[in-house]
Amino acid sequence: MPCLGAATQNNPVLRAFYQRLIAKGKEPKVALIACMRKLIVILNTMIARGEKWDPSRYALR
C-alpha cells in the first residue's frame, strides 16, 4: 500500500516511472507491481550501503 501513494502522488521518482509505464500501455495494476519491485530494490540497496534517500540518484534519465 505505501507504493500506491508513492507511485501515484507523492514520490516524483516512482510517479514518473509509473506514468511512463502507463503511457507505454501497461495495465495500472502491472505498473504498480513494477513500482513496488523498483522500490524494494532501491530500499535493499540503500540498507546494504547504509545510505539515505536521495531522489536525484534514482531519477529516470
55 within a domain of the structure (yes/no): no
Number of independent structural domains in the chain: 1
Q: Is the pTM of this model over 0.85?
A: no
Q: What is the mean pLDDT of the chain?
A: 87
23 within a domain of the structure (yes/no): yes
54 within a domain of the structure (yes/no): no
What tens digit of pLDDT does each residue of 26-55 get?
A: 999 999 999 999 888 988 999 999 998 887
56 within a domain of the structure (yes/no): no
Look up residue 14 and give its three cell numbers.
516512482
Domain of 16 in residue numbering reads as 2-49
